[in-house]
Chains A and B, each alone.
Chain A
Amino acid sequence: MQLTINGATHDVDVEPDTPLLWVIREELGLTGTKYGCGIAQCGACTVLVDGVATRSCVTPADSVEGQEIRTIETVEETEVGRRVVAAWVENEVAQCGYCQSGQVLAATALLTETPNPSDDDIDGAMTNLCRCGTYNKIRAAVRSVAEG
C-alpha cells in the first residue's frame, strides 16, 4: 500500500491492518513516534492525520491510505508546529521526554484548529498521559502559543 508520510509517498509492504505506529517506527525507521500502551490510552503514539491528532497504535495502516500523515520529525515544517516546539523549549516542559512527541503534536493540532483555546478546549484536546507529571507546564506552553 502507499502511505503519505511527512510529505513523501512510501510504498509499504505490510499486513493491511498493521498499526500505523509500527509502520512508522519499523518500516520508515522514524522512532520519534512512541509506543506506550498500544490501546489508545496514553497518546505517546500521536501523529497528525490530515491535521487531526490520531493515536497511531490503534490506526490500521490501510485506513489512512491517501491521507496526509505527519510525525514529530517534521512538526517544525508548519508555522504552528514551529511555535509549539519553541514554547515547549522555552517552558522546559520535558522531563523524561517520552510522552512529549505526542504532546507536541496534540498541541499543534489543537492550536492549528483553535488558535485561542479556552480551558475546556485544552482539557478536551490535551488528553495524553504524562507519567512525569508535566501537565502544568504543558498547559502553560499551550497558553503561551495562544497568547503568542
Chain B
Amino acid sequence: MGVFDHLARRIADRPVNVSRRGFLAGTGALVLATTLPLRPARGQTAAADAPAVTAYLELRPDGTALLRSPFIEGGQGIFTAMAQIVGEELDLAPENFSVEIAPPGEPFAIMGGFRLTGGSMSTRTGYPVMRQLGAAARAMLVEAAARSWGVAAEELVTEPGEVIHKDSGRRAAYGDLAAAAMDLPVPAGVALKDPADFRWIGSAVPRLDVRAKSTGRQNYAIDVAVEGMLLAALRHAPRLGLTPAAVTNLQEIEAMRGVHSVHLLDGAVAVVAEKFWQARRAIDAAEIDWTEGEAKWPMPADFSSAGFRDSLATAEGEVVEVEAAGDAAGQLAAAETVIEAVYDAPYVVHGQLEPPSATARFNADGTLDLWMPCQAPEMFQNAAAGAAGLEPAQVIVHQQVLGGFFGRHFLYATANPFPQAIALARAVGRPVKLIWTREEDFLRDAPRPLGLARFRGSVGPNGPEALQIEVVGEGPTQRWYNAPPGQDPSATEGISGKTYAIPNKHIGQIFQANPAVIGYWRSVGHSMHDFMYEGFLDELAAAGGLDPYEMRLSMLSGSERHRSLLERVAELAGGWKQGPFEAADGSTRARGVAMASPFGSEVAVIAEVSIDAGEAKVHDIWVAIDPGQVVNPSTVEAQVQSAVALGTSQTLVEELVYENGEPVARNFDMYPILRPDQMPRVHTAIVGSGAAMGGVGEPGLPAVGPAIVNAVAVLTGQRIRSLPLSKYDLG
C-alpha cells in the first residue's frame, strides 16, 4: 500500500512533542499527550505542518494507566503493542494498562490531522512517538520524587511502577507521584532506553483483550445500543446504478409487525422497525421495481468478470514504465526461446466476519453522533459531514473495535452504510442503527480488483536473463487517491519492487479502468502480483532446467538480507527439497517456494502440498519473516497464522464472479472461505535483522499462494496461472 509506506517513512524521523494536558487536572492523575504527525499523501495535505492525531496517556493514582490509542484494534493486537511500547519507556508493566480507542471531539480533537489503521503501519508509525510519550512521563515522575526527597534526579532509578533512591532505600509508587508530576514542566527530548535494556519490547507480552473476546464481552459496532433507537435493514439494487422506482406492495410492508416506515434511498430500499429482525423480515417481503438511476460507477448490465478478464488479456494501450534495467526488449528479441504467460487473479471479498453497520443520532445542538467500524475516522467524519450537510466539527465519529477488517472499512463510496444511516435517522427523527445483512455486504463490498499481468522472459544457464511484464488494470490507490498509472504501487506492487537481480527487465502498467467499485484487500496488490511473478519465475526455472530454490538464491547474491532469509526458511523446513516425495501417511507431496517484499518487511515461504481427490491439500507452510524490528513476537506469529490462512483461502477457494453486472455469490454458501480442516500447519521464524521496522499485519500473505501453486505444478505438471485452484480438477 504505497501511500502508507510513504507516510511511514516520512514521519519516522520527525521530532516528537509531548505536552501536559490540563483538562484532567485535579484528578490526581498525570495526563500527557503527544501527536502523531500523520497526514494524507501529497496533494491532500491542507498545510505542511497541520497538527495531527493525538494520543493520550493517563497515569492514575492507583498506579494503572489508561492509554488512548489513535489506532483501532481489529484483531491485529495493536492495543497490546501500544501498551508495550509506552510501558517500556515509562517502566510500567503492560498488564497495568488499559487501552481504548481515542474518542472523538474535544479534548481529543485531531484538528485537521489524519489517522488510519492500515498499510501494516500502526506500530511502525506509532513506535517513536509512543516511546517518547512514555519516556517523558517517566522523567516527570522521577523529577517529582527528586523534589519531594530533596535529591538529584540523577540519583534515582525506576523499577516497574516505582521510583527508587538506592542510597536511602526510599521508594515511591508511580500512582502516588502522579499528582505532583502533573505540576511539572514537560521535558523535551528525553533520552530513550538502550534497546539492549528492553524489558517488554521484543517479548511475547500477552494480549490485553483475549479474555473479553473469549467470553462474549467485547462489543463491536453491530452491538451498539443508543437510547430510543430504531433498527433498519435494506435491500440494494441488484446492479449498481439501478435505483428503486416503487415498492409495489408498500401497504403490506408497512403493516407488518414492528415496521415504523419504508424509505426509498439512492439505490436501495430500507425498512425501519422496532427490531432488526422485523425490519429484515419486511425488507425480504418487499416487492421493488428498479429503474436506471444516477451512479458514479454504474455497473454495465452485460458486465461479467470472465469477459473483463479476457478484455484485460488482449488490452492494448500505453505501457507506463514502472521499473526498468538493461535492455529487456532487445534481449528477448535475440533470445532463442521466449517463455510467455498470462496470469490473473479474481475479485475477492473482504469477508470480515462482522457485517457492516452504522448507528446515527442527530442531537438537539445540531451535532451528529455516528458509531461505526472505520479504519480512517477523519475521512469518515468529513464524508459524513458532507452527507448530513454539517461541518466536520459537528460530526462525532465513535470508532468501534472491528470484527475483522482486512481493508473493508476504508472510505469507499457505495460500500459504507453510514450515509444511509444518516438519511434514515434524519427521516425518522430518531437514532437509527442500520445493519447490512451478509447478502448486502457481498453485493456492495469494494472487492480486490480482478488483476492480470502478461509475462515474457528468457532464461540462461544461470537464471533469468530478461523479463518483460505488462500489468493490466487499475489499482485502488488510483481509484480513491488519484494516483496516476505508473505511480500507483497498489496496481503493480509484488510485480514491481521485487529484489531478484535480473539484468534486463521492463515492468510497465497498462491502465484499464475496472468497472467494479474496487478496494484495498489484505496486502493489496501484493496479494495477487507476487503469485503471478513467483509462478512465472518457476516457469523460467523449469524451462532452464534449474532448481527454483537454488535459482532464487543465486539471484539474491547481491542482498545478504534476502539470501539469508531464504536459507532460513529452508532450514526451518528441514532443508529444501522440491519432490515429489512420499510422506509418512503415504501421500505424494511436493514443495514450492516463493518470496515477497511487502510493506517494509521481507518474507520467504515454503509450502508442502499433496493432491487429494482432485483438490490441493496444503499440509505445512513455513514462513521466515523479517520485519526488521519486532515489538511482540507472539503478535507477529499470530499475524503470520492469520495471513497464511487468508493467503491459503484465496489461493484454494475464493473468487467473486460477476454475471450480468451482479455478483453471483451473496453469502458464504456460494463463496466459500477457508474451513478449519483446510488450515495448514504454520511454522514461523521471526528474523529481526535490525533493518527499519516493517509491517506485520499483511506481509505474511503474498508468498503463500505462489508457494502452493508452485508445489501443485511439481505434483501435476500443470501450471496454474489463474486463481483459485478450486476451478481445476487436479486429479
Contact = CB atoms under 8 A, between A and B. Distances in A.
A95 interface: yes
Contacts of B405: 96
Interface string A88-113: 11001111111111001000000000
B660 interface: no
B641 A96 contact: no
A129 B667 CA distance: 13
B352 A41 contact: no
Given A128-B676, A133-B679, A136-B679, A95 B642 contact: yes
Nearest to B403: A98
Nearest to B214: A88
Contact of B642 (A31, A100, A132): A132
Contact of B216 (A38, A101, A132, A136): A101
Contacts of B681: 136
A25 B276 CA distance: 10
Interface in B187-230: 206-207, 209-220, 222-223, 225
A26 interface: yes
B676 A127 contact: yes
Interface string B620-644: 0000000000000010001001111
Interface in A3-29: 14-15, 18-19, 22, 25-27, 29
Contact of A94 (B209, B223, B644): B209
Nearest to B681: A136
Nearest to A29: B225
B217 A32 contact: yes
B674 interface: yes
Given A89-B210, A133-B642, A133-B644, A37 B404 contact: no
Contact of A36 (B207, B281, B353): B353
Nearest to A32: B216
A42 B41 CA distance: 38
Contacts of B403: 34, 96-98
Contact of B667 (A37, A72, A127): A37
Contacts of B223: 31
A76 B214 CA distance: 10
Interface in A21-73: 22, 25-27, 29-39, 41-42, 44, 71-73
Nearest to B404: A96
Nearest to A104: B214
A126 B676 contact: yes
B606 interface: no
B504 interface: no
A98 B676 CA distance: 16
A29 B225 CA distance: 9
B220 A85 contact: no
Contacts of B679: 133, 135-136
A100 to B, nearest CB: 5
Given A26-B275, A97-B212, A41 B667 contact: yes
B285 to A, nearest CB: 12
Contacts of A25: 276
A134 interface: yes
Given A41-B668, A131-B352, A133-B641, A100 B257 contact: no
B75 A72 contact: no
B271 interface: no
A143 interface: no
Given A34-B354, A127-B676, A131-B352, A22 B215 contact: no
Contacts of B437: 38
Contacts of A27: 275
Nearest to B277: A22
Contacts of B668: 37, 39, 41-42, 129
A147 interface: no
B645 A135 contact: yes
A16 B351 CA distance: 31
Contacts of B21: none
Given A96-B74, A133-B646, A138-B676, A72 B209 contact: no
A100 B213 contact: yes
Contacts of A18: 277
A32 B222 CA distance: 11
Contacts of A139: 676
A133 to B, nearest CB: 2
B682 interface: yes
B352 to A, nearest CB: 6
A129 B645 CA distance: 11
B438 to A, nearest CB: 5
A129 B352 CA distance: 11
A123 interface: yes
B673 interface: yes
21 contacts: A22-B277, A26-B275, A26-B277, A31-B222, A32-B216, A32-B217, A33-B216, A36-B354, A37-B438, A38-B438, A42-B668, A73-B216, A89-B211, A92-B206, A99-B353, A128-B676, A129-B675, A132-B75, A132-B642, A132-B645, A133-B644
Given A38-B667, A123-B676, A129-B668, 10 more contacts: A26-B276, A29-B225, A31-B216, A36-B353, A41-B669, A89-B214, A96-B213, A131-B352, A133-B674, A137-B638
Report, nearest first, the 5 A-B pairs whose CB atoms are least far apart: A32-B216, A133-B645, A97-B213, A96-B75, A98-B403
